[in-house]
Chain A
Amino acid sequence: MSTRIFAICARTIPAAWRQSHGAALTDLATEMVESKNSSAPREALGIVLYGLRKRTPKSIRRIAELPWAESLWLLAAPVASIQFAVLLLAQRSGLLLNTQGDYGFQLGMWWTAMLAASGLALIAAVRRDRLILGLGGIAVLVLALFDTYGPGGSMLGGTSHGVDLGSSSGILSPAVLFLLPTTLLPIAAAFVRPTQMPSTSAPARALGRLAIAAPPLIALALTYGRIVGTGEPPRSILWLSVGEPGYLAVLTVIFGSSLLLALLCRSVRHPASALAAALLIATQIPALALVTTFLVVDGFGPDVATLAVTVLLYASSVVAIVRLRFGPIANWSRI
Chain B
Amino acid sequence: MPITEPTYFVLAALIDGPRHGYDIAATAADLSGSRVKLSAGTLYGVLDRLETNGQIELDHEETVNGRLRRYYKISPDGVAVVLDEADRMRQAAKVVTAKRKSSRPQALATPLRANAGGAS
Tell me the A residues contacting B by CB distance below 8 Å: 21, 23-32, 35, 37-38, 42-43, 45-51, 53-54
Contacts and interface: CB of A to CB of B under 8 A. Distances in A.
Chain A facing B: main interface SS: helix
A48 B41 contact: yes
Nearest to A17: B48
B41 A37 contact: no
A50 B41 contact: yes
Contact of A53 (B37, B45, B68): B45
A27 B39 contact: no
Contact of A50 (B29, B37, B44): B44
A25 B25 CA distance: 13
| Among all A-B residue pairs, the 9 with the closest Cβ atoms | A46-B41, A46-B39, A50-B41, A29-B40, A28-B21, A27-B67, A24-B70, A28-B40, A47-B41
Interface in B11-62: 20-22, 25-26, 29, 37, 39-45, 48, 61
Given A45-B39, A53-B45, 10 more contacts: A26-B40, A27-B67, A28-B20, A29-B39, A29-B40, A29-B41, A31-B21, A31-B22, A35-B22, A37-B29
A21 B25 contact: no
Contacts, number: 64
Contacts of A23: 68
Contact of B39 (A35, A42, A54): A42
Nearest to B66: A27
Nearest to B67: A27
B42 A32 contact: no
Contacts of A46: 39-42
A47 B40 contact: yes
A272 B41 CA distance: 42
B115 to A, nearest CB: 49
A45 B45 CA distance: 13
Contacts of A21: 44, 70
A50 B22 contact: no
Contacts of A49: 41
A30 B68 CA distance: 11
B61 to A, nearest CB: 8
A54 B42 CA distance: 12
Contacts of A24: 21, 61, 68-70
Residue of A32, A47, A54 with most chain B CB atoms under a 10 A cut-off: A32
A30 B70 CA distance: 14
11 contacts: A24-B69, A24-B70, A28-B20, A28-B25, A29-B41, A30-B67, A43-B41, A45-B41, A46-B39, A50-B45, A51-B41
A43 B39 contact: yes
Given A25-B44, A37-B29, A50-B45, A32 B39 contact: yes
B26 A27 contact: no
Contacts of B22: 28, 31-32, 35
Contacts of B70: 21, 24
Contacts of A28: 20-22, 25, 40, 43-44
A37 B61 CA distance: 23
B40 A32 contact: yes
Nearest to A48: B41
Contacts of A51: 41
B68 A27 contact: yes
